[in-house]
A and B are shown apart, each in its own frame.
Chain A
């Protein structure tokens, strides 16, 4: 089945620094990747949709200059949290469109728990 590898699984960074999260499709080409953020005991909120080779589409209220998304290849999408602050501490999870895999077209990474201190 389609597998998405997400790294790192856990990261602690200092306030003001930037953190990059990678999602890599291992056995398929992910033309579309979705990035979600999840605060404790809450739902997954869509942040942005990225298509390979084009600019990401951000949801209302998500700062595109703060959450930089790059989808330069069919197997790799990255989310960079720039100048992170404690309120950016959250669980970030990616999801790829994988029409030929299981899950009826959606495959999730294992998530990244970001803590900004």
Chain B
């Protein structure tokens, strides 16, 4: 069963506008971590933001914020004031278990974001 679901294969946003990329997850483990990565055409994985399952507040990192709705098992990424350089693939990922669990990350299928002038 798919543990991470990203339902938007592609998204468009105009420069300077905000955009929300959807992510839902499935786990029965009470301890888990949620990650968002940006992957430009070069292929490198760029870490954007992290949310732990016990974190009370939504994570924020500069123009990135994570809308964490635990009961709905969703962890949407919000990018504010989009820039042309934000055009890339975006992946949501989950680590099940405690942060020291040593488990690999499970990735969603990704969302391709295109920022237009």
A residues neighboring B (CB under 8 Å): 32, 34, 36, 38, 41-46, 49, 91, 93, 95, 97, 99, 102-106, 108, 110-111, 113
Contact = CB atoms under 8 A, between A and B. Distances in A.
Q: Would you call the interface of chain B mostly helix, strand, loop, or mixed?
A: loop
Nearest to A92: B43
A43 B105 CA distance: 12
Nearest to B110: A43
B44 interface: yes
A111 B43 contact: yes
Interface residues of B, number: 21
Given A110-B43, A110-B44, A111-B44, A104 B33 contact: yes
- Is the contact region of chain A dominated by helix, strand, or loop, or is it mixed? strand
A49 B105 CA distance: 11
B45 A104 contact: no
A80 to B, nearest CB: 20
